[in-house]
Every structure is written in C-alpha cells, then in structure tokens.
Amino acid sequence: MIEFPWLTLTIWLPIIGGLAVIVSGDKTAELTKWLALAVALLTFVVSLPLWFLFDVTSADMQFVERVAWIPSFDVYYYLGVDGISMPLILLTTFITIFVIIAGWEVITYKPSQYMAAFLIMEGVMVGVFAALDAILFYVFWEAMLIPMFIIIGIWGGPNRVYATIKFFLYTFFGSVFMLIALIYMYFQSGSFSILDYHTLQLGMTAQVLIFIAFLLAFAVKVPMFPVHTWLPDAHVEAPTGGSVILAAIMLKIGGYGFLRFSLPITPDASATLDWLIIALSLIAIIYIGFVALVQQDMKKLIAYSSIAHMGFVTLGFFIIFAIFNQPAVHSGAVMGIEGGMVQMISHGFISGALFLCVGVLYDRLHSRQIADYGGVINVMPWFSGLVVFFAMANAGLPGTSGFVGELMVILAAFKADFWFAFLAATTLVLAAAFTLWMVKRVIFGEITNEKVAHLQDLNKREFINLGALAAAVLVLGIWPSPLVTVMEPSIIKLVNQVQVSKLPNAPTPTISQTINHIQP
Amino acid sequence: MENIYLTIVLAPLLGAIVAGFWGAKIGRAGAHWVTSSGVGIACALSLWVLSRFIWHDLPAFNDTIYIWMVADGIQFEIGFLVDRLTVLMMATVTFVSLMVHIYTIGYMADDEHNWPHGSLAGKNSYQRFFSYISLFTFSMLMLVMSNNFIQLFFGWEAVGLVSYLLIGFWATRESAVFANLKAFLVNRVGDFGFILGIAAIGMYFNSMDYAEVFAKAPEFANTEIAVFGGVSLMTLICILLFIGAMGKSAQVPLHVWLPDSMEGPTPISALIHAATMVTAGIFMVARMSPLYELSTTALSFVLLIGAITAFFMGLIGLVQNDIKRVVAYSTLSQLGYMVAALGASAYAAGIFHLMTHAFFKALLFLAAGSVIIAMHHDQDIRNMGGLRRYMPITWITALVGSLALIAFPGFSGFFSKDAIIEAVGHADVFGAGFAWLLLTIGAFITALYSFRMYFLVFHGKPRMDEHTQHHLHETPWVVTVPLLALAIPSIFIGWYAVEPLLVNNWFGNAIVVAHEHDTLHHLANHWHGQVAFIQHGMHGLPFWLAMSGLILATIIWWGWHKVNPAIDGQLQQKAGPLARVLDNKYGFDDFNQRVFAAGGRRIGQVFWNTGDQKIIDDTIVNGSARAVSWTAEWMRWLQSGLLYHYAIAMIVGLVGLLTVYVAF
C-alpha cells in the first residue's frame, strides 16, 4: 500500500504556491496576500497529519517516500520523519503563517515576491527536515540560502549588503565541508542514504574529520561561538519576517544537524570531542549573555539572546557522553537531548514572538534603539502585556515553554557534571537580566520621546499574531507531555545508537546504559 | 476531595483571568466582585478543610492532577499534597488574601491619580490590580499545595512574577520599575541555587515527587558528592535549596530587594511582601524537613543566616522614617526569626510564627496603608503624629499589631516568638549560642523600633500641614473591616494554636524531626497550659528585653518627644557613624550596584567591544575578507598583461634560480 505523500505535499505545496503568488503579481496585491495566506494555512493543515497520524511508539522513520532521482549516482528522492524532525516541520509550517500575516500591510515594495520568498523558504526548510538522502538534504540545505539572501537583500535595512554577504559566505563556507564529508561517506558506503551512514563503520581519523566538517556547517547555522557574529548583523538588517524565520527555524537546522548527522554518524569522534562543544555551549550561555546585556539595539539583543539559548540546545546534546561515564547515574542522556529539542521548539515560538514585537514597534517608530523608547505601556498596554509575557518566557519562567527545555538540560547537565549545571544555570540570572532590563527601558517608565506618545496599540492583525504565539508558549509550558512523548522513542534510539562504537576494529559493543523505557 | 482542592486553586485563577482580560467590560465593581468571590470561595473551602483536619482527623491527600510530562524515566506531574502543614498555609494565605481583596477596594479607589494624565495603562488599573492579587493567590496555593519539586518551583517563580508585576504596578515611576527589576533579579540569584538543588535531587533520587524523595532520603545520609573537594550530598542539596529560600524569604545577603519592594501599593506589601510570599521559603524548608534533618551543617547554616537577618535587619528599622519601610525591616527581622526556628529544627515553631506573623504583619501593613490614605500618600512618619484622635480604629488595630509584633504576653506573637527563642536556646548545632544571643537582643530592638513608629504616628502633636490635617479622617469600612478582622487573630490565634501546634504535635508526619534535634520537646515536656507558659515567659530574658524596649520607646518618643519634638533626628545625629552605617543599610545596596550591576555591564561591554567586535568581527571575519582582497589585488598587479613585465619576471627568476644553484 502506498501511503499518502504527506511530506511531499508539505514541501511542494508552499513552493508551488509561492510561484503562483509571484505569477499573480503585485497588481492585485490584496488578492495575492490572501492567496499567500491561504497557501500558508493550507500547508499547515496538510502538515497536521504528520502529527496526528504519527506512531508515537515507533522510533523508525515514518511517512517514508523513496523514489529514484538520479539513479546513476544512487541518489533518491527519499523522505521520512521521526520524532526529532516531525516537530520541527510543524514548527516551520506554524511559524510561516505568522510571518505572512506580519508582512501584511508593512511590506509595500513588491509584496507578492516577499510573500512568495517566505513560502518557498518554508517548503525548502521542510525539505531539509524531511530529507533522508544526503544529496537531497544538501540541495535543500543550500537552497534555503537563496530566499533568505533575497529577503534580507531586498527588504532589508540600510546595511543589508554587508549583512547578506556575511550571512551567505559564513553559511556557505560551513556547508562545503559538509558536502565533502557526505561524498566521502558515499564512497565508503555506496549509498547516499543518511540512514546507511548511521550504520557505516568509520575509523577514528575519518570520524574526526567528518565530525569537524559537520561541525563547521552546523555551528555556523546554530550559531555557536565564535562563528556567531553573522547572526546579529543579519537580524538587524532583515525585515521582521526574515528575523522571525531566521531565529525560529533556520537556527534549528543546525541543532537538527547535530542529531541527524554528527551524533549518529560519528559517535566516537563526538565522544572524544564533546568537551569542545560543551565548552563552546557554556561560552555561548555566559559570554553571550553578558554581550546581550549591553546591546542598544533591540534586535541585536534578541539575536544574542538566541545564541545564548541555542547554547542550551548544544549543551543538552553533547553532555550525554559525560553522563555515560557516570557509573552511578541511571539515565539523563535522553533528558539532555529532549531538553535541547524542547528548547529548540520553544525558542522558535518565543524568539519569533519577540522579533514580531520589535517589528510592531519598528513599524510605528522606525527605530530599534532601546534609548528611543520608554513608557510604551502608557500608550500600548495590550502590547506591553504581551511583551512582558514573552520576556518572561525568554527568561525561562515556569508555565511557559521557555522553562521546560532549560529545566531538562539543567537536570541532565547536573548528572554530567556539577559545574556544567552550575554554569548553565547562570542563565536564570543572565537571561532575566538582559531581557527584563530591556523591558524596563522600553516598556516601563514615563514617556520621554514625544513620538512614543502617539503610538497606537496593537491592531487586530498584530494581536492575532502575538496572541497565537502566546497561546503556543503557554500550552507547551503547561503541558509539554505530547511533544516529549512524540520525541522520546526516536531519542532513546539515538542515545542507544551513539553508545555503539563505529570503529572498524572496535570490541563488541558495550552499551553502558541501554535505555528502553518509555513509561517509568 | 480532589474537586474541592481543585476549586480552591482554580477559583482565584478564574477570577484573575476574568478581571484581567475583561476588566474593561465588567468594570470596577465587576472586577472586585469576581476576584473577591474567587478568593472568598477558596478561603471558605480552605477553612472548611482545615476544620475537617482539626475535628474529623481527615487523612492527608496526595495525588496527581495531571502528568506534565514523562521524560527519561522521570515523571513530572502536577499534583496536590494536602496535609496538616499545607492546610494551615492554605487557610492563612486565603484568609489574608481575602482581607486584602476587600481592603483594596478602598485603597485603590482613586488609582487614576497615580498615573500620568491620559495614560492608557492607568485606565483599567483597578481591575488589573485585582487580577494580579488573585493570580498571586492562585500561584501561592499552587506552591503550598504541591506534591513535587517542579510544581513547587512553578509556584515559586509564579509568585515571583506576580511580585514583579505588583512592585512595578505603577509602571511609570522610575523607582518602582527599578525596584521590581531588582526584586526579580535578586530572587533569580536565589532560584539559581534552588534549581541546582532540584537538579541534585533529580540526579540521586531520579524522582521529583516529595513522598518518594523523602522516603529514599535516609539512604543518602552518608553519600558524598565530589564537588568542592567532597561534601555531603544532603548538605549540598539543603544549602542549595535554602539559597532559593534566602531569595524568596529575603535573608541576608539576598534581602536587598524587600525594602525596595515597598514601591508597590500597600495592599500587596501586606499580602505578598509580609504575610505570604516571603514566607514561602520558610514553608519550603519546613516541607523539606526530612532532608534538612539529615544535615546538621545545613541546619547550622540556616540558623545563623536567620539569626543574623533577625538582628541586623531589625537594627535598620530603627533609623527608617518611611512608615512602610519600618514595617518592611521589621518583616525582614521576623522572617529571620522564622528561619532561625527552622535551623533549630523547630519547624513547627517556625510555621507557627509564620501564621501569627501573617496576621499581625498584614494588619500592621494595612494599618500603615490606612494611615497613608489619610495622609494623602505621605509616608514620612516625621510628618505624622497624633493620628489616634482622627482614626481610632486604625490606631487601636495598629496598637494590637505592634503588641503582637513585640511579643507582648498574651498576644499571638508572644507564643510563637517565645517558642522560637526557647527552641534556639535548646539547639546544639554549631552557632546556636550566638544565634540565641542575637535573637534575644532582637526582642529589645523589635520593641524599640515598633513603638518608635507607633508613637511617632499616633501620639504627640500632629506635624502634618494644615491642609492634610484638615482632611484627616478615619478610612472607609472596606479598609477598617479587614483591620478588625485581622486584629482578632493577631490577639487570639497564639493562645489557641500554641498547644496543638507545639505541644501536641499537630503536624504529625508532615514535619520530620530527628530525635537528637528535637528542641521543642522541652516545651512540650514542661507544658502546663497557656497561662503557665505566659508566666514562664515573663521570667525570661527576652520578655524583659522587650519590655525595656517598650519602656525606652515610650520614654523617648512619647515623653521626651513631647518636650523636644526634634529628639528623633537629634538621637540619630548623636549616634553618628552607627546611624550612618544603618542608614546605608550596611552598604549592601552600594556594593551590589557597583560590583554586580555596574560590573556586569562592564564585563558585557568588554566582551562585546573586544571579543565580538574587535577580535572576531574585525580581525577574523573582516580580516579574512581583507586578506582575500589583498591577495586578489596583488594577483591582479602581477597579471598586468604586458609582455615585457613577464619577460623581466622570467629573466629575474632565471638569474635567481641559477644563482641559488651555483652558490649552493
């Protein structure tokens, strides 16, 4: 029986829809926008079966589609999702709706192409998460750059050329090494299937080189210290929607890469080099936290905050080896990775919402400088309430989604090493400090800038946007169980996988902690 | 029972949601009715449950409401544990909260005046205020009723959030939004320790459930953990958790946020920053007694921190002139007493004092608020005086509160505080003697600052300007009724509660005390009824010190003040350096501002300017871009396309190579 190709539909519907939006053009701009919104909504709807028809007891790839694409090179159009990629696909289709809505009245220059760029972007990003063939993955991976390049380059701020070049070169630089690694493994395994790579025996040198190649690609995307400086620049220049996609989804692709490629393909190298990632993650949490504190530009501040939060993600992923080495500890590795995953989803909502909030202010005053604001609560009380809510979520308040991932990573980090947890937990203070200090200066106080006095509170469109994201943040914070349940089998499988050495002459696999629980 | 407990928790939440989101629609009366009814239902049901516990010996309830998530074999859940400790907290919290709801109707009646003209934030501020205090009640109930560490942390942070919102309620005032940020951050420092404590429990117990953790705890009594050169696991866990309590319950050195929190409207100072939220830390430690009993080091730490807070914060109260700040420092000091009780393993006495303090301190704050209303929001006690003639109910109730606070025999505070000092006297953990000394002298200081304020406010000649004096009158019934309602337990609750709580072990197994730590059994063994307890107390040093404080205060601020109205300021000048030290609050604020706030910003600046901008961006990123462009320039210069350039290059190269070849 051939399953209904939900993944293909989720990938190609927005891409084709995006092309249709371009064709319909700007002359009927109003209609075009509705068309774009319809496409985004429809894409979200067709992605929902991925969630509802997903078998939460299985760790295997589901919704698999496999068709020969370039037979002479064994390249397949090979798609499938597990508990790791499926939530990220839903995040993508969900967030895109709000990006389309956010650009509604704001983008007056070539709106149809703007909307189309985001729709195409959406399809491509879903493709990245769904691809199980290395070449297909790589094509989607690189294709992602083009719409984003255009979005920042055309609808961006005054310094957009510098930002786009920096963004493009940085990410492109990272990915060519990944391509080499993928091709190398093709010659070793005779297949481009990512799942075949997972079982491919590799010597230590090869593993280390492949690990580093992947690291370059993914570290730039996440971004990790010290290859993070493209992100603040890109955010500052990007239009609101671009920032949202960048923060909410594109960064997650780096995190996803670690789980899909680095850990399962090069477990021995990962175990050897885990200290590097842990160190960089902790630097991201603390160093970047301090850097965020002194930012004058709201978008830069949130961009740095994103880097710090993504530090939690990579920390959660790579503490697992230290946990394996703790003889007394029974579990924790699964929690670390799950925490990183939850943090990615949650950060998608929260950072997306925060960038939308900055967009709301920017649309009115055309400034992102903290110093230009103050006393916004006097004129925009509803908006201020939402900002405080998202700020608290960003600071990891329990009851919001921001807490769940942080809690899980801290719990797991404690099992790895007291000091990892200690350093990671400084985010409780740092994130609260940089986020709430900004809130204090922007939202509270008396109005000092004459222009602020004339601001209008949220319109219906903005209210729907932020309200929906607030609901998502709250639901995930109050009831994270469904998300965790979906992920758990795949993550348990991954954790068991990385404990098996892939060195050719390795002794019989010794798994220090075979994990097979789903319920306690 | 589950439905009843759910109703208790959800009724205030529902009120908060309705008043918060639809405040404009339902109007002011709608908002205070919906929230007060919610809290009223919670209060009535809590009292009913309490009565069931008292007279029908209702068994403890411990069950899951829903599963938050199951991750990696650990079940995280939302669930209630209602035992005798919980139910006492529930009753106290909801009762004080209800009183504060009613009081707020009067206190916030003309809140528009507190906002800049035309500010939309001030438009429905009345409704929003009610929404917040109801939300607070919900959060506090979630905290005390939790049966696991995650929900505890949820409640813990949620009350912190509401505290943040309420301290900064008048969000256009710079001092208010400074204070709320400070409060949140200082609390976060505490929570930093708290979450590490929870993580340590997660690591060793693999569970977040109280019952499971407490049951397994004795197994880990001798476990060492390899940090800081090897410490006892229980000590680490208890001290980390206590750091959280130090933030929330404002213990030195994390106390700095509480005095500033007085920027919030007075009703919440009473509810949150005196009666309930700040006692969350005390409740938490009492709840964790099965853990704390396993670490004498942690108990000793708790005891010393508590005693130091009780004594040194009380001293600051002597030099404060803002009526709310005097009460705030008094709160800090009293929290210190409760914490010291915990450190002496007299958890029951700590909770007992928590309860009596909730009533009389809420009363004092609300009385102060009543004075502030009458004084048209002037809070300086130097401008008051003689108010007893204008506002008799406020006067009498404030007197009741003050007497309870200084542990005047027979009043509620007497029973609880005397029990604490006695228990600390019997404790033999490290530092117990020192702690006892601080707490005993503290009794003198408490009496001194309390009655300094009392006399300066209610006695002597009126010192306010004529306009204010002309308009002085007793506040409306919505204000005075809560005062009276709180005055009653402030007098009597000690008398009735002392025997069950301290003598008859009412808490049962809700509180665990190791036999060798049991400091309250002396009291129980020599129990001959309340009268005998009072008589016994009147032979003790604390009583005499308190009385001398009271008498000294009477002499100075009643007698002497009549002759020389400037005496208060003169005394402070005479005290010179000591008064200055107290006035600077021992320099904690300056230190934090300079070291942590300014230091943090400076580190951030250095990291950003040097690290991100200079090293990474300028040197590495743009540096490589420049290197590429230089190389390209150079290559372009080489490839000039002119034949004779190439010819010369060839000849030079040939000669060079030949030279090398011949010479070497």
For chain B, give every domain's residue range. 318-586, 592-663
Name the helix (H) or strand (E) containing A232: helix A230-237
> Can you tell me the distance from the alpha carbon of B414 to that of B494, in angstroms, rounded to the nearest whole number?
7
Instruction: State which residue of chain A sits closest to B184, comparing Cα positions.
Output: A432
Please, which residues 467-486 of chain A have a Cβ atom closer than 8 Å to chain B? 478-481, 483-485
> Can you tell me the distance from the alpha carbon of B288 to that of B281, in angstroms, rounded to the nearest whole number?
10
Contact B346, B424 (CB under 8 A): yes
Q: Does A388 touch chain B (CB under 8 A)?
A: yes
Distance of CA A376 to the CA centre of its chain: 30
Number of inter-chain CB pairs under 8 A, A vs B: 180
Contact B425, B431 (CB under 8 A): no
Contact check, Cβ <8 Å, B617/A330: no
Query: Collapsing DSSP states into helix, strand and coil, what is residue A411?
Result: helix
Contact check, Cβ <8 Å, A399/B154: yes
Q: What is the pLDDT of residues B350-396, one digit of tens each?
A: 999 999 999 999 999 999 999 998 888 889 988 888 888 899 999 99
Max distance between CA atoms of chain A, in angstroms, equals 73
Contact check, Cβ <8 Å, A519/B70: yes
Instruction: State which residue of chain A sits closest to B66, comparing Cα positions.
Output: A479
Residue A519 pLDDT: 42
> Can you tell me the distance from the alpha carbon of B480 to that of B469, in angstroms, rounded to the nearest whole number?
20
Query: Collapsing DSSP states into helix, strand and coil, what is residue A500?
Result: coil
Residue B619 pLDDT: 84
Identify which of B143, B401, B403, B84 has the alpha carbon closest to the alpha carbon of residue B272. B143
H-state helical runs in B271-374: 280-287, 289-292, 296-317, 323-343, 347-374
Contact check, Cβ <8 Å, A378/B225: no
The tens place of each residue's pLDDT in chain A, 520 residues long, gives 457 899 999 999 999 999 999 888 777 778 888 999 999 999 999 999 999 999 999 888 999 999 999 888 889 999 999 999 999 999 999 999 999 999 888 888 888 889 999 999 999 999 999 999 999 999 999 999 899 989 998 898 888 888 888 888 888 888 889 999 999 999 988 889 999 999 888 889 999 999 999 999 999 998 998 889 889 989 999 999 999 999 999 999 999 999 999 999 999 999 999 999 999 999 999 999 999 999 999 999 999 999 999 999 999 999 999 998 887 666 788 999 999 999 999 999 999 999 999 999 999 999 999 999 988 999 999 999 999 999 999 999 999 999 999 999 999 999 999 999 999 999 999 999 999 999 999 999 988 888 888 888 999 999 999 999 999 999 999 999 999 999 999 999 999 889 888 887 765 555 555 555 544 3
Residue A520 pLDDT: 37
Identify which of A312, A162, A195 has the alpha carbon closest to the alpha carbon of residue A251. A312
Q: Is the peptide bond before A87 cis (omega within 30 degrees of 0)?
A: no
> Can you tell me the distance from the alpha carbon of A211 to that of A321, in angstroms, rounded to the nearest whole number?
15
Q: What is the pLDDT of residues B28-64, one digit of tens each?
A: 999 999 999 999 999 999 999 999 999 998 999 999 9
Contact B310, B337 (CB under 8 A): yes
> Can you tell me the distance from the alpha carbon of A175 to that of B511, in angstroms, rounded to the nearest whole number?
60
Instruction: State which residue of chain B sits closest to A383, comparing Cα positions.
Output: B121
Query: With helix as H, strand as E and coil as C, how does A144-200 read?
Result: CHHHHHHHHHHHCCCCHHHHHHHHHHHHHHHHHHHHHHHHHHHHHHCCCEHHHHHCC
CB count within 10 Å of CB A283 equals 19
> Can you tell me the distance from the alpha carbon of A171 to that of B601, in angstroms, rounded to the nearest whole number?
31
Contact B612, A229 (CB under 8 A): yes
Question: Per this entry, what is the length of chain A?
Answer: 520
Chain A nearest CA to B329, separation (Å): 25
What are the residues whose beta carbons fall under 8 Å from the beta carbon of A312, sequence distance 6 or more? A281, A285, A339, A340, A343, A405, A406, A409, A424, A427
Query: Collapsing DSSP states into helix, strand and coil, what is residue A507?
Result: coil
Contact check, Cβ <8 Å, B71/A488: yes
Residues of A in contact with B178 (CB under 8 A): 440
Identify which of A82, A114, A92 has the alpha carbon closest to the alpha carbon of residue A18. A114
Overall average pLDDT of the B239-243 stretch: 96
Q: What is the pLDDT of residues B207-219, one digit of tens each?
A: 999 999 999 999 9
Instruction: State which residue of chain B sits closest to A399, comparing Cα positions.
Output: B154
Name the helix (H) or strand (E) containing B65: strand B61-71
Q: What 8-state DSSP symbol labels residue B355?
A: H
Q: What is the pLDDT of residues B468-512, one digit of tens each?
A: 888 888 888 999 999 999 999 999 999 999 988 988 888 988 899
Burial status of residue A486 (CB atoms within 10 A of its CB: 0-12, 13-18, 19 or more): buried
Q: Does B109 touch chain A (CB under 8 A)?
A: no
If pLDDT is split at 50, 70 and 90, which confidence band does B234 have? very high
A interface mutation test: which of B65, B72, B167 has the most A CBs within 10 A?
Answer: B72
Residue A512 pLDDT: 52
Q: ipTM for the complex?
A: 0.93
If pLDDT is split at 50, 70 and 90, which confidence band does B463 have? confident
C-alpha pair distances (Å), A100 with each of A36, A121, B309: 7, 12, 56
Which tokens sit at B32?
């205070």
Whether residue B417 has pLDDT greater than 70: yes
Contact A156, A168 (CB under 8 A): no
Q: What 8-state DSSP symbol labels residue B320?
A: -
Residue in A414, A419, A426 closest to B200 by CB: A414
Q: Does B563 touch chain A (CB under 8 A)?
A: no
CA angle B25, B27, B32 (to 5 degrees): 125
Q: Does B205 touch chain A (CB under 8 A)?
A: no
C-alpha pair distances (Å), A213 with each of A140, A184, A218, A315, B624: 18, 11, 9, 19, 19
Q: Does A519 touch chain B (CB under 8 A)?
A: yes
> Can you tell me the distance from the alpha carbon of B235 to that of B250, in angstroms, rounded to the nearest whole number?
21
Overall average pLDDT of the B4-15 stretch: 95
**In angstroms, what is the C-alpha Rg of chain B?**
31
Which residue is it, tokens 């405080």? A388
Residue in A291, A483, A515 closest to B607 by CB: A291
> Can you tell me the distance from the alpha carbon of B110 to that of B129, in angstroms, rounded to the nearest whole number?
13
Q: What is the pLDDT of residues B345-360, one digit of tens each?
A: 999 999 999 999 999 9
Lowest mean pLDDT among A470-484, B531-545, B555-569: B555-569
Which tokens sit at B587?
């320099």
DSSP string for residues in B591-655: HIIIIIIIHHHHHHHHIIIIIIIIIIIIIIIHHHHHHHHHHHHHHHHH----HHHHHHHHHHHHH
Residues of B in contact with A519 (CB under 8 A): 70
Q: Does B159 touch chain A (CB under 8 A)?
A: no
Report strand pairing: B231-232 vs B74-82: unpaired
Contact B162, B139 (CB under 8 A): yes
Residue type, B534: I
> Can you tell me the distance from the alpha carbon of A343 to that of A407, in angstroms, rounded to the nearest whole number?
10
B78 dihedral zone (left: phi>0; alpha: psi -120 to 50; beta): beta
CB count within 10 Å of CB B386 equals 16
CB count within 10 Å of CB A190 equals 11
> Can you tell me the distance from the alpha carbon of B646 to that of A300, in angstroms, rounded to the nearest whole number?
51
